[in-house]
Amino acid sequence: MSSSSSLPAKPPPPPRPKTRGSYNCGRCGQPKKGHVCNLPSPAAADGAAPPSPSPSSSGGDTRLRRALSFDEPSSPEKKPRPDHDGRTMELGGRAVPVDLVVEVLRRLGPRGVLDAAAVSRAWRDCADRVWRVAEELRLRPAAAGLLGALLPRCAALSRLVLHMESDVDATMLSCLAFSCPSLETLEITMADKAINNMTGEELSRLVSEKHSLSILKIGGCSNLGFLNLSSSSLNVLWLSDLCSLSESVISCPNMSELSLCFTQQSTECTDLVSLMDGLGRSCPNLRNLHISSIQLSNEAVSALEGANLRGLCMLSLILGSKMTDAAVASIVRSCASLALLDLSGSSISDSGVGMICKAFPHTLSRLLLALCPNITTCGIQAATAQLPLLQLMDCGMSLRSNLQNEKQGAYFGEINGRIRLCPKLPTLKKQPMRQKLIIKHDNLKKLSLWGCSAIDALYVKCPELIDLNLNTCTNLHPERLLLQCPNLKNVHAFGCQDMLIGAIKNQKLINRKNLMKQCVSTGV
């Protein structure tokens, strides 16, 4: 026997201490966390086919995830955010990521971004990146030069709101025309001393060149001269302070909302009959129409009937003192399902209100008849009784007992309680004193009786009413006021007697206590 055979056999290596196998690599034994193993699997080393990936494996697009995943996906297809390049800039002696500075600047207003751009070249680069991705801007430019320097940088801008403190001229319109190729919404309002010198030709050119423009709202349009707009993309058009248009052509087949507000000057002489007549052919898809003009008459409303706008849902024709019940008859024949009707400032009577109630009992939810002196309490009560879906009603200044405000103009109230002045209307006349108004409605939420000084007794039973406007109801007696409105939150009583204001507060408190008792008894 050889000596080698007499040596004892080499003992097997001690087994590797058992570790948490699911946390270590099965090939090399290294921890799996942050580890990529390059050794072949045992099966691959033996020539066997590799196993097919399971849905729970970390590779491939077949991995199952939650619909709302809070983990960042590790797939290589994920694209980084644009403009994120990992660069840094020195800020206070420390290196700060440029992306972080850009995110901070995006939360500032336009003035703050402009001030930051003046600090240094690095800050200017960050500001330029903010302008490149800006989608909405609200500016109060004091000069058109600011827009000329800023807007060409905003390639992604889709909404621009300007409150001009300087005059609007052809230079600014040219800047708007050649900048912001993706602009969809443009709103321009004028400060008190600013003048809009825009002409009809310049406005027409702007609309024709902005093929993506969908919403256009411009104030101070007293210098247009004529209106000739043609656009297939324009959906909403608001023009205010219009004056004496010699020609009115609006050819926008996809327009759904149109608002034209004319000045109330005695020189205003726009031909609204031809304007109304052309709307049906050039804007057949109109849904909302608002026109404010002292030139509104029965003939103009009759022309609207010939326009065949059967799809109208909201119709507002205000300050037309020449409109009578004949205009209401034209509206009833031309509109099938109105949800809002505003005839404030007209001369319609209770008969016209009756026609409205018979025509739209299943659709009308907002009725505004302010400054209509021929309407009485009978017409108002008939409207609340025959329009079950009514949620808002404004009868302000329709029940007047005197003309104490004729010299400085009539108060024109709003449903939310505010009051503003408007020029007096020639049809305002006295109503009999000591009128009693009773309103009962299950769905009415807002009721405005501002300036109804002929009312001395008021009874309101509306369980859903939340807003009541009684401003300048000077003859309403506190002891003849009864409010059964458990959800009433806001009562406006500017210019009323102190005793009436006290009675309103007491009745609101009583309604609130009754509502609490009702909730307790029903277990709510």
pLDDT value, residue 34 = 57
Return d(Cα 335, Cα 351) in angstroms, integer. Answer: 18
Q: What does DSSP say about strands 410-413 and 419-422: parallel, antiparallel, or unpaired?
A: antiparallel
Average pLDDT, the chain: 79
pLDDT value, residue 44 = 42
Which residues, 6 or more positions from 309, have their beta carbon under 8 angstroms from its beta carbon? 279, 280, 284, 286, 289, 334, 335
Q: Name the strands in the sheet holding 481-484, side by side, starting at the edge strand that comes first in the sequence.
A: 435-440, 455-461, 481-484
- Is 516's pLDDT higher than 90? no
Q: What does DSSP say about strands 481-484 and 455-461: parallel, antiparallel, or unpaired?
A: parallel
Q: Are 439 and 449 in contact (CB under 8 A)?
A: no
When pLDDT is averaged across residues 331-344 and rounded to a whole number, the result is 94
Q: What share of the chain is helix, strand, coil (3-state, %, to 5)?
A: 30, 20, 50
Q: Are 485 and 440 in contact (CB under 8 A)?
A: no
pLDDT value, residue 505 = 85
Q: Are 383 and 393 in contact (CB under 8 A)?
A: yes
Which residues, 6 or more positions from 245, have their beta carbon under 8 angstroms from its beta carbon? 200, 224, 225, 226, 227, 270, 271, 275
* 77: its two tokens: 């297809």
* 175: its two tokens: 């800047």
Return d(Cα 452, Cα 475) in angstroms, integer. Answer: 9
- Chain-centroid distance of CA 484 in Å reads 33
Predicted TM-score of the model (pTM): 0.74
When pLDDT is averaged across residues 27-48 and rounded to a whole number, the result is 56
pLDDT tens digit sequence for 112-169 = 887 787 888 888 888 888 888 888 888 888 766 778 778 888 888 899 999 998 888 8
Angle at 474 between CA 494 and CA 483, to 5 degrees: 75
Of the candidates 169, 160, 159, the one whose C-alpha atom is nearest the C-alpha of residue 140 is 160
Ordered by where they begin, the domains of the chain are: 88-133 (1.20.1280), 434-523 (no CATH)
- Chain-centroid distance of CA 446 in Å reads 20
Return phi, psi of residue 510, to 5°. -65, -40
Confidence of residue 364 (pLDDT cuts 50, 70, 90): very high
Give the chain's length: 524
pLDDT value, residue 126 = 85
pLDDT value, residue 292 = 95
When pLDDT is averaged across residues 239-259 and rounded to a whole number, the result is 92
Tell me how far CA of residue 65 lies from CA of 34, 53, 190, 273, 466, in angstroms: 21, 16, 53, 64, 48
pLDDT tens digit sequence for 267-306 = 888 999 998 888 888 898 999 999 999 999 999 999 988 8
Most distant pair of Cα atoms in the chain: their distance: 142
Return d(Cα 441, Cα 465) in angstroms, integer. Answer: 9
- Is 510's pLDDT higher than 80? no
- In percent, the amount of the chain with pLDDT more than 70 equals 74
3-state secondary structure of 165: coil
pLDDT tens digit sequence for 70-100 = 233 444 444 444 445 668 877 777 887 888 8
pLDDT tens digit sequence for 381-410 = 999 999 999 999 999 999 987 644 443 444
Q: DSSP H helical segments within 441-524, as ranges?
A: 498-522
List Cβ<8 Å contacts ≥24 apart for 84-91.
Answer: 89/122, 89/126, 90/122
